[in-house]
Structure 1
Amino acid sequence: MFSDIFIRRPILATVCSLVIILAGAIAIPTLPIARYPELAPPSVTVTAFYTGANAQSVESAVTTPLEQVINGVENMLYITSSSTNSGLATITVTFAVGTDGDLAAVNVQNRVNQALGRMPTDVRTNGITVTKNTAGFLGALGFYSDENKYDSLFISNYLDRYVRDALKRVPGVGNVIIFGERKYAMRLWLDPEKLAARSLTAGDVTNALREQNVQVAAGSVGDSPASADQLFQLSVRAGGRLNDVSQFENIVVKAGGSGALVRVKDIGRVELGAENYSSRLRFAGLEASGIGIQLLPSANALQVFDGVQVEMAKLEKNFPPGMHWKLAFDNVIVVRESITEVLYTLLEAIGLVVLVMFLFLQNWRSTIIPAITIPVSLIGTFAFVKLFGFSI
């Protein structure tokens, strides 16, 4: 029998056991630890933002054209989409189980590129993002200030500039989403009566803004070819885009025949505010912003969460005075508790197995030999868990 080989050769049996243990021990640290096993099919999310548009406009100008080109991408199962009154278009493409997530994202990105020419200028300017990540959040962080020292607009922009990119660099992080996000923007409030009195429309103001708020390359002075006595070459730096309220107020919308100029300040007002006020977030009763962490597929949830906390400890040192952060919710608790319960269950099972063997053999020395095979079997199993692509 096959078992006789190991019974008659104890050294060979010992070596094989050590090899199995080593293979399992090496595989354990590399195994992904997730809240749920990877049973759901992979998905890719496409996000676009159409500034100032309502849900119907977003649907017709952005969502539908994107759906038309994405539909039928290789290995696609189904596609879902949503359009909101805040100008956000979200399309989720679900693929067949076993499809490579990276390849799926590339295929979707190629389809999106085909539709860029049909997108409104604002959408192309804002950019269309294609991401692959797990559904749900690993955890969420809340950011606030003492006695509302900083409003949500300031906190949101601070997170966008200094925190989001740092957290995205943590290994295993798939996406970082800012809850209650409010980016700084110059807001133009137009008076319909003043527009009508001057025979103007909102489109005229938009066109004037596009024409006069541009970044141009002004060239240089003294560049080649030039005369032999030309000794200096100077780059010309133009003013570029407008950056304060007074500059926007003085944008010329219309010029009259007598030389009279109609400026933005004559038909409305300008203020520095948030790009979007569609959402509002509070944390412990204070104005706040939040960050949600999403995992990459096959990422180790415990390692990612620890990495996020280490990174936040570094970033916290540079926070503005009075600004703080706290953990809003943590799904890693489920993972830790599950692992703890599994360990307790294994210990109880091992104890029961050893007890049953002792009751039958009635000898501790005889019980030790089969008991040694238990850790060999358990640890060695993780090598096959790694081989077949499972997660803990």
Structure 2
Amino acid sequence: SFTATSALNADGKTPRLDAQDVSWFVDDTVTKRLLSVSGVGAVKRIGGVKREIRVELDAAQMAALKVAAVDVSRRLKLVQQEAPGGRGDVGGAEQSVRTIATVKTAAELARLDIPLADGRHIRLDEVARVLDTTAEARSEATFNGQTVVGFEVLRTRGAGELDVSAGVRSAVAELAVQRPDIALNLVIDNAAPVKENFDGSMELLYEGALLAVIVVWVFLRNWRATLVAAAALPLSVIPAFLGMKYLGYTLNTVTLLSLALVVGVLVDDAIVEIENIERHLRMGKTPFNAAMEAANEIGMAVIATTFALVAVFLPTAFMAGVPGLFFKQFGWTAVLAILASLMVARLLTPMMAAYLLKPSPHAGAEEKDGAVMRNYLRAVSWCLNHRLLTSLGAAAFFIGSILLVPLLPTGFVPASDRGQTQINLELPPGSTLAETRLLAERARLAAMQVPQVKSVFASIGGGSSGDAFAPGASAEARKATLTLTTSHRNDRSESMAELEAQIRTRLADIPGVRFNVGPPDTGVKMQLVLRSEDPVALTAAAQRVERELRTLQGIGNVSSSASLVRPEIIVTPDFARAADLGVTAASIGETVRVATTGDYDTNLTKLNLAERQVPIRVKLPNALREDLAAIGQLTVPGKNGPVMVGNVASITMA
């Protein structure tokens, strides 16, 4: 995720650009440029504002002219629109026909004549103020307490995260040069832990390969034989890469872990082959004959041991469930590399030995065993002479290992430390964006008391700016997510779990908010299920259990699935009265919605500009939403003219 902020003027205090300009820069310039980067699937703005033309109705003037809010909204759609349709054949050529009935500015819109259903027409500015402004904010973004416009970049499925990250960084750097008046900063880098894991896995792979070669040299004590055996490593890994490409796998943590695990196995077959060839060379044979006879002598044994390893790794590729999604690539990568090592050992190792190895200078002479071999043979001899004790000891070790299994902690994956964690805040239903912002700032200050926390990016509220009907819970202004970036795990002594525990302790002093500390994929360790026929008693019991659990030492992230009651304003039509006056429930609902929040975004009239469309929202001033009496004074169309909502419906709080 990145942030975009305006550079300051010469006074060092006031910004050069306002929030609307910065938001449009993100929506237009940044989005277009980043979507051209290979692998980028979407660019999502966080916070900021959205330009709109607001038609702010005058309730008193509408009542005097007997005009309903819904009439203004409907008629505005009929007058202000751009509609394609029709075909012309002028001059022997075919043309499409398009009806363009649009204005370009808020001032032109204010002077627009609106025809009414009863045959009258009025100018829009007679019943409303027309403002070129920004939509009502439903979300906000801050970085270390400073209001910013954030945007996050989402990659397409299958795209390499590191490649996409590099492309995005390059594109953002270009934009920063083109627009020096806007500061672009990277605040959350999810690709950094991936690169760190990738580099660590590659280091393990290189170290494992080097150590395998050193061990081979120590035991064979022949640099030519060591070279032949070591050649099996790259010659086995490269075919494995080809197989991975065919299967659609990438070089990721799982596949690199698989290769690092089998790197020692890849030289096993070659070591067996080369050691047997060395033995035949000591018999006085030429390298060519020694390679041929030694390879034929142990061919079946090498094949059998290789397929035994395949039998160990291949079943992991067919595991079911979520673990199977991880181990599928793990198992197939290991199998591909092991089978490639078999091909190398059976084909290339004998050929290389035939031409690289030299005849033994001690052919026919009996080679004396070293101290290590003598001790080993002595231990083997003792075990063979005491078979019962050896068998009992092996059985005891096996049974003891099985008995220790229940004592080991279990889990799907070990806890990771990516240098980031999250705080998810949830306020009671009905809380405003301002209240959420205030508590999010308190949570940020509490988290910053932990010295290891370096920065906090907060996404407050949800849904696009001005979209009061965005689907899903993410559109609620009462929720916030704080992403905390900590110092690197190598630069601190505490684990991420310990830091999260410290943060929970500090957040416990903030009243009136539910919070969850930790990434969203944190597993639930324990779940209590309460059942009852009485929903009221069930909710009360769940709240008591939640409060008690929060007091227990060592328990964190206690949350309840019990839904919180959201306050509502209930408009209940009087059907008999409404029928007498020709008012329908649908017209009451539409009137209340249009007057209080405006129409749905998909139905809003648009102001068509050269570079974008600006929505036109018809609504009452925000202050009138605070008064039930004002809602009751709204007028709805009736058969004999507009009727006040309060005359055909009751308005109550619930």
TM-score (normalizing by structure 2): 0.34
The answer to whether structure 1 residue 391 and structure 2 residue 258 are counterparts is: no
The answer to whether structure 1 residue 335 and structure 2 residue 194 are counterparts is: yes
Residue type at the aligned position of 1:350: A
The answer to whether structure 1 residue 210 and structure 2 residue 77 are counterparts is: yes
Partner SS state of residue 187, structure 2: strand
Q: Give matches, 1:1-392, under 5 Å.
A: 140-147=1-8, 148-180=15-47, 182-215=49-82, 224=91, 240-253=101-114, 262-319=122-179, 322-392=181-251
Partner SS state of residue 157, structure 2: coil
Query: Over residues 148-179 of structure 1, what are the superposed CA-to-partner deviations in whole Å (9 max), with x where a residue is unaligned?
Result: 33222211112222221121111111111122
Contact map agreement 1:174 1:296 (CA 8 A) in 2: yes
Partner SS state of residue 38, structure 2: coil
CA apart distance, 1:278: 1.0
Q: Which has the higher contact order (CA 8 A, sep 6+)?
A: 1
Count of aligned pairs: 242
1:365 and 1:258 map into 2 onto residues whose CA distance is: 102
Moved more, 352-361 or 341-350: 352-361
CA apart distance, 1:282: 2.9
Residue type at the aligned position of 1:154: D
Partner SS state of residue 67, structure 2: coil
Contact map agreement 1:144 1:283 (CA 8 A) in 2: no
- Between Structure 1 and Structure 2, whose CA radius of gyration is higher? 2
1:290 and 1:146 map into 2 onto residues whose CA distance is: 15
Contact map agreement 1:152 1:287 (CA 8 A) in 2: no
CA apart distance, 1:240: 4.0
Query: Over residues 167-199 of structure 1, what are the superposed CA-to-partner deviations in whole Å (9 max), with x where a residue is unaligned?
Result: 111111111112225332211112333322322
CA apart distance, 1:267: 2.2
Contact map agreement 1:143 1:283 (CA 8 A) in 2: no
Residue 373 and residue 258 in structure 1: after superposition, are their counterparts in 2 closer, same or farther (change >3 A)?
closer
Contact map agreement 2:83 2:98 (CA 8 A) in 1: no
Residue 256 and residue 178 in structure 1: after superposition, are their counterparts in 2 closer, same or farther (change >3 A)?
closer
**Unaligned 5+ residue runs, structure 2?**
9-14, 252-654
Residue 243 and residue 355 in structure 1: after superposition, are their counterparts in 2 closer, same or farther (change >3 A)?
same
CA apart distance, 1:243: 2.0
**Unaligned 5+ residue runs, structure 1?**
1-139, 226-235
CA apart distance, 1:254: 5.6
CA apart distance, 1:217: 8.0
Point out the structure with the larger helix share. Answer: 2
TM-score (normalizing by structure 1): 0.54
2:32 and 2:64 map into 1 onto residues whose CA distance is: 47
Contact map agreement 1:208 1:251 (CA 8 A) in 2: no
2:83 and 2:44 map into 1 onto residues whose CA distance is: 33
* Percent identical residues: 26
Contact map agreement 1:217 1:238 (CA 8 A) in 2: yes
Name the structure 2 match of 1:116: none
1:305 and 1:211 map into 2 onto residues whose CA distance is: 47
Moved more, 381-390 or 355-364: 355-364
Contact map agreement 1:144 1:286 (CA 8 A) in 2: no
Residue type at the aligned position of 2:164: V
CA apart distance, 1:256: 11
Contact map agreement 1:155 1:288 (CA 8 A) in 2: no
Moved more, 267-276 or 336-345: 267-276
CA apart distance, 1:204: 0.8
Moved more, 164-173 or 362-371: 362-371
1:237 and 1:343 map into 2 onto residues whose CA distance is: 61
Partner SS state of residue 159, structure 2: coil
Moved more, 282-291 or 292-301: 282-291
Residue 237 and residue 348 in structure 1: after superposition, are their counterparts in 2 closer, same or farther (change >3 A)?
closer
1:256 and 1:207 map into 2 onto residues whose CA distance is: 10
CA apart distance, 1:215: 3.2
Residue 350 and residue 237 in structure 1: after superposition, are their counterparts in 2 closer, same or farther (change >3 A)?
closer
CA apart distance, 1:296: 1.3
2:219 and 2:20 map into 1 onto residues whose CA distance is: 72
CA apart distance, 1:242: 1.6
2:204 and 2:230 map into 1 onto residues whose CA distance is: 17
Partner SS state of residue 314, structure 1: helix
Name the structure 1 match of 2:448: none
Superposed CA RMSD in Å reads 3.3
Contact map agreement 2:39 2:159 (CA 8 A) in 1: yes
Contact map agreement 2:71 2:116 (CA 8 A) in 1: no
Residue 361 and residue 164 in structure 1: after superposition, are their counterparts in 2 closer, same or farther (change >3 A)?
same
